[in-house]
Each structure stands twice: as structure tokens, then as C-alpha cells.
């Protein structure tokens, strides 16, 4: 059996993968969000509040966390209809900060002192279960009609609209679905750490989530999975350098982005891997 | 006489101090090939952008098939049967040739984000199988079926232009707007393009054609509209248009 320490590393890595996927979904439609930490906070506080103050069973509270993330994602999607690229990054960044400050000033949620006494409920099976569902979702959607519309919008928005893609619908759907995933990630996080405060979901969180997905490569959702897994386990592997750990971590990320600016899994590598997979399937 | 397929009335659009189009009246009869020519900056592409909904007009009406479409978003107009190609090629770079054409079928197929989660894998769903058959048929028509699984942006230039036409055709348009389809093509490619446009038109698709190559305009079109400085300066059959004094003036200067 795995040690408690190993399980804890896996749970945090799993939540990081979930968060990276929540960034990847709108990004696959060309919508870059620097506010996924905000959705995560909404999910975490929703689930914590419901279980502590209303004795809601965890699965239900977790579903509510996803729902709140999705509804707010829909709302954040509206300004995204008019904004592109860097401007959208700034607006979503502002959204994340707004959520953080909101919880900082909400006594019902503990304010700056944080929210303690959250019942333990998240197990490795919850995390793995959600990951299996998400991998199934992404494999099915990529290459589907909507998956293609997402890619078209990312490649060339005006051309996509001219070909009959309703960009309003696609963008809102992408933000809402990303919000659902981040809300679920937040719920799982809250019921594992058992204590949350607004600082856990600030700019740093949003940027790390972005880094995971970009590091892994945006050509496929597998990039977000690989990037988040590697980058959240890496600090554990670097323990032996002690004080130099964070410097070495930053250096490794820097070198990687210089060597493979397209991310770990770029389109070329993915094509090679899938060709090999198809050959293996043909042999068996 | 039956109602024209497309009728614009007093269509205007400016860009700050720059005039794009000034009170343009233009009708396109169903079934033919209608060419639009004029010097650079005459407002030809602005006209296309207004008809397809990429731009909204400052004033004027756009009627298509008898109903007012001036306030519809671009994707609704595509669903009604207006589709276009672009002056500078705008294929989807991350997709294969086939996927580009499948995107053209977007408005003719159904299924949202959650639809692929249930039932058989999406690739084998009845809607997708039918869509792929149609996409392959369109690719055969433009002669690109053997390149279906290549990256679209790695095709030779002339084939990228044909793929743009194929992508637009996949949406089953009643009116196809071609924005300088022969730009950058060599004489051989231009001849093949001419045959393709004629073939598409024979299948019942009305064509609006912006074109600089006069040979193509003269051979293909039934009627030619000449724009200059955002206004219509002449409209006639191709043989007459070459002799029109205002056209000669616009092209050669007075």
C-alpha cells in the first residue's frame, strides 16, 4: 500500500490536473483565463459552507460546487464575448482577484482568518473517479462537432463565424464547462485540506494552473494532464536540493519552455504517439 | 419577374473618415454568376463583409431570399445559405483538409458539448458518418479527396484556395461569395478554378465573384458590377462593361 504521504502527493497532483483541465477547456476555444483560481475558490467555499452549516452530504455539496463554478463561468463568459487575447487574460485575472477579495471580506466564510473545520471527505477515489470522468469527456469531445468548433474558434474566429459557428454559444459553453471543472476541483481541495483561506486561490494559483497546461502543451488535453502531473510531483523529487528547490524548479520550467516552446506534448509528438498506438492496435 | 436572391438597398459603411461603401443598391438574380470588379479600396470586400454579417452596416437594408437579414449574426446567415471564401486564405491551421470541410458542415449538423458522451463513439454516430460522406463528396468535387488527412495549411497554394471553396460548399450555400479566388494562381490553376466555378454554378449555386483577372470575369459572369470609391459606377453584361467610359476612367485615370 501507498504511504499516507504518497497518497497526499497523488491527491494534490490529481486536483492540479483537474484545475489544468479547467483552464484547457476554454483555452481550446482560444479563450485564455487567468482566473481559474477564482472558480476554484467558489467551489471550495460552496462545498465547505454547505457541509458545515447545512450538513449537506459531500457528494451533493460537491455537485453544488461544480454548479456554482459553471454558473459564474457563464457570467464571466459574457465580457469574454467582446474581448480577445491579452485583454481577456486581464479581465479574467480581475475576476479572480475580485473573488479573493470578496471572500476576504465575508465574515460568514471566515474572512481573512479562513474557513476551518471542514469535514474530511475527499479520498483518492473521488479524485481518480473525477479524473476518469474528465478523461472520458475530453476524449469524446475532442474531434466531435463541438470539439471542432472549439478548435476553429481558436484558429480563426472570423472564419469560424463565417462557416456558421455560433461563437457566442461556443465561448459561453467553454467558460461554463471550465467553471464546472474548476468548481469541482475546489470542492475536492476543501475537503482534503480541511481549512481554506482566500490566499490559497489567488493569482499564484491561477498562474500555476495556466503554467501546468501550457507546460504540457495546448494541442491536446493530455498536455494539461502531463504538465500538471509532472510539475506538481517535481517539487517532491527535488527535496534533496533543500533550499535550492524553488530555484531549480523555476530553472527546469524555463529550460523546458526554451527547448519545447509548444509544450511537452506538441502536435508532432501527439501524431507520432497516436500513430504508434494505432499500429499496436492493428497488431493485436 | 421573380424576386432576386439578394437585394441590398442604400447600403453604407464607413471606417472613421474612410468611406467603405456609400448607399449601394445592388441585386443578384438567382442562378447566375455576378462579378464585382473595381480598383483596390473600391469597397468590394466591405460589401462581402456586410452581406455575410462580418460587419454591420451604418445604414441600408439587406434582403436575402425575400427576408431582411441585416440584423442577423453571421452564423445565422450561413444557415440561411450565404457562405464565402476569403481574399487572404483563412483555413483552420490545426486541422486536416477533411476537418476543414467538416467545419463547413457545422450549421447542417447537430450536437452540443455533451452529445458525444452517450451512445457510440462520435466518429461512428449516424450524423457524423453522414457528415463525413458529404465532406468526402465535396472534396472529390474539388479534386482534393486524396489529401483528406493532410494538414490543410501544408497543401500547395492553389489547393488551399480550392479547399476554401470546398469548405464553403459544405455548408450547402444558395449564394456563394468568392473573394478573389484566383489571386496568386498560375494560369493552369486559374483555368482549373474557372472550370470549378462553372461546375458549382451548374449545380444551382448562385455566385458573387470579386475578381481582378478580367479573363475569368469575362468568361464566367453574366453581369458585372463596377465599384469605385464605395459607389456603383456601372453595371452591365461583360462585353459592354469593357467599353463603358466610366469604367475605363476608373481603371486608367482621367
Q: Which residues pair with B36 in a beta bridge?
A: B210, B225
- 8-state DSSP, B107: G
Judging contacts by C-beta atoms under 8 Å, the chain A residues touching residue B92 are 151-152, 155-156, 159-160
What CATH number is associated with residue A31? 1.10.3470
* 284 residues of chain A, pLDDT tens digit each: 678 889 999 999 999 999 999 999 999 999 999 999 999 999 999 999 999 999 999 999 999 999 999 999 999 998 888 888 889 999 999 999 999 999 999 999 999 999 999 999 999 999 999 999 999 999 999 889 999 999 999 999 999 999 999 999 999 999 999 999 999 999 999 999 999 999 999 999 999 999 999 999 998 999 999 999 999 998 888 888 878 888 888 888 888 888 888 888 887 788 777 777 666 666 65
Q: At residue B1, does pLDDT exceed 60? A: no
Distance of CA B237 to the CA centre of its chain: 21
Q: Inter-chain contact A162–B84, Cβ cutoff 8 Å?
A: yes
pLDDT in tens, B198-239: 999 999 999 999 999 988 999 999 999 999 999 999 999 998
Q: Inter-chain contact A173–B54, Cβ cutoff 8 Å?
A: no
C-alpha cell read off for B188: 493552369
Looking at residue A191, its pLDDT comes to: 97
**With bands split at pLDDT 50, 70 and 90, how would you rate the model's confidence at B127?**
confident
Q: Inter-chain contact A166–B122, Cβ cutoff 8 Å?
A: no
Could you tell me if B51 lies within 8 Å of chain A, comparing CB atoms?
no
Nearest to B75 among A143, A165, A219 (CB): A165
Looking at residue B251, its pLDDT comes to: 76
Search chain A and give the residue with CA nearest B107.
A164
Could you tell me if A160 lies within 8 Å of chain B, comparing CB atoms?
yes
pTM of the model: 0.90
Q: String of b and e for A77-87 (b: at least 16 CB within 10 Å)?
A: beebeeeeeee
Ordered strands of the B175-179 beta sheet: B82-84, B175-179, B206-210, B33-37, B223-228, B231-236
Could you tell me if B9 lies within 8 Å of chain A, comparing CB atoms?
no
Task: Give the domain range for residue A115.
Answer: 4-283
What's the rounded mean pLDDT across residues B146-160? 93
Number of compact structural domains in chain A: 1
CB within 8 Å of B28: residues ≥ 6 apart: B4, B5, B6, B7, B34, B175, B206, B208
Cα(A210)–Cα(A23) distance, integer angstroms: 6
Looking at residue A281, its pLDDT comes to: 60
Looking at residue B181, its pLDDT comes to: 95
**With bands split at pLDDT 50, 70 and 90, how would you rate the model's confidence at B7?**
very high
Say if residues A245 and A235 touch (Cβ distance below 8 Å): yes
Looking at residue B81, its pLDDT comes to: 95
Domain-by-domain residue ranges, chain B?
A: 1-81+173-254, 93-172
Say if residues A141 and B123 touch (Cβ distance below 8 Å): no
Of the CATH numbers 3.40.1160.10, 3.40.50.11540, 3.30.43.10, 3.40.50.300, which one belongs to the domain with range B1-81+173-254? 3.40.50.300
What's the rounded mean pLDDT across residues B124-145? 91
Nearest to A159 among B53, B92, B102 (CB): B92
Nearest to B74 among A149, A156, A161 (CB): A161
**With bands split at pLDDT 50, 70 and 90, how would you rate the model's confidence at B122?**
confident
Amino acid at each position: 500500500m501507498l504511504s499516507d504521504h504518497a497518497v497526499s502527493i497523488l491527491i494534490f497532483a490529481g486536483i492540479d490536473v483537474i484545475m489544468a483541465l479547467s483552464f484547457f477547456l476554454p483555452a481550446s476555444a482560444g479563450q485564455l483565463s487567468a482566473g481559474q483560481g477564482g472558480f476554484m475558490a467558489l467551489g471550495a467555499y460552496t462545498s465547505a459552507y454547505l457541509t458545515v452549516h447545512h450538513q449537506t452530504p459531500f457528494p451533493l455539496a460537491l455537485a453544488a460546487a461544480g454548479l456554482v463554478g459553471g454558473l459564474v463561468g457563464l457570467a464571466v463568459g459574457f465580457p469574454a464575448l467582446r474581448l480577445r487575447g491579452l485583454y481577456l487574460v486581464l479581465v479574467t485575472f480581475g475576476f479572480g482577484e475580485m473573488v479573493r477579495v470578496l471572500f476576504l471580506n465575508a465574515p460568514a466564510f471566515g474572512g481573512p482568518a479562513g474557513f476551518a473545520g471542514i469535514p474530511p471527505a475527499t479520498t483518492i477515489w473521488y479524485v481518480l473517479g473525477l479524473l476518469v470522468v474528465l478523461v472520458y469527456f475530453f476524449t469524446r469531445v475532442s474531434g466531435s462537432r463541438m470539439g471542432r468548433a472549439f478548435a476553429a474558434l481558436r484558429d480563426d474566429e472570423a472564419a469560424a463565424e463565417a462557416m456558421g459557428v455560433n461563437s457566442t454559444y461556443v465561448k459561453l459553453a467553454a467558460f461554463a464547462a471550465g467553471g464546472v471543472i474548476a468548481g469541482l476541483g475546489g470542492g475536492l481541495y476543501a475537503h482534503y485540506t480541511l481549512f481554506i483561506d482566500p490566499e490559497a486561490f489567488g493569482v499564484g494559483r491561477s498562474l500555476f494552473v495556466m503554467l501546468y497546461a501550457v507546460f504540457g502543451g495546448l494541442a491536446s488535453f493530455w498536455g494539461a494532464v502531463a504538465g500538471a502531473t509532472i510539475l506538481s510531483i517535481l517539487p517532491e523529487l527535488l527535496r534533496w536540493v533543500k533550499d535550492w528547490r524553488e530555484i531549480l524548479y523555476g530553472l527546469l520550467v524555463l529550460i523546458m519552455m526554451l527547448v519545447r516552446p509548444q509544450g511537452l506534448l506538441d502536435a508532432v509528438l501527439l501524431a507520432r504517439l497516436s500513430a504508434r498506438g494505432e499500429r499496436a492496435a492493428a497488431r493485436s | 419577374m421573380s424576386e432576386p436572391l439578394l437585394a441590398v438597398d442604400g447600403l453604407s459603411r464607413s471606417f472613421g473618415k474612410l468611406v467603405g461603401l456609400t448607399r449601394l443598391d445592388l441585386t443578384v438574380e438567382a442562378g447566375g454568376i455576378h462579378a464585382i470588379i473595381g480598383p483596390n479600396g473600391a469597397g468590394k470586400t466591405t460589401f462581402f463583409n456586410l452581406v455575410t454579417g462580418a460587419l454591420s452596416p451604418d445604414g441600408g437594408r439587406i434582403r436575402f431570399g425575400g427576408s431582411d437579414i441585416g440584423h442577423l449574426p453571421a452564423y445565422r446567415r450561413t444557415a440561411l445559405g450565404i457562405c464565402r471564401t476569403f481574399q487572404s486564405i483563412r483555413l483552420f491551421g490545426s486541422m486536416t483538409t477533411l476537418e476543414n470541410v467538416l467545419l463547413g458542415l457545422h450549421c447542417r449538423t447537430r450536437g452540443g458539448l455533451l452529445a458525444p458522451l452517450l451512445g457510440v463513439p462520435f466518429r461512428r454516430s449516424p450524423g457524423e458518418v453522414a457528415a463525413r460522406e458529404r465532406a468526402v463528396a465535396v472534396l472529390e468535387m474539388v479534386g482534393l479527396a486524396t489529401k483528406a488527412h493532410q494538414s490543410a495549411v501544408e497543401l500547395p497554394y492553389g489547393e488551399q484556395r480550392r479547399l476554401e471553396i470546398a469548405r464553403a460548399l459544405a455548408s450547402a450555400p444558395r449564394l456563394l461569395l468568392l473573394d478573389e479566388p484566383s489571386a496568386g494562381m498560375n494560369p493552369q490553376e486559374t483555368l482549373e478554378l474557372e472550370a470549378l466555378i462553372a461546375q458549382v454554378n451548374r449545380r444551382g449555386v448562385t455566385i458573387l465573384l470579386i475578381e481582378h483577372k478580367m479573363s475569368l470575369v469575362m468568361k464566367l459572369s453574366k453581369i458585372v458590377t463596377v465599384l469605385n470609391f464605395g459607389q456603383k459606377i456601372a453595371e452591365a453584361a461583360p462585353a459592354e462593361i469593357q467599353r463603358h467610359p466610366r469604367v475605363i476612367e476608373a481603371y486608367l485615370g482621367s
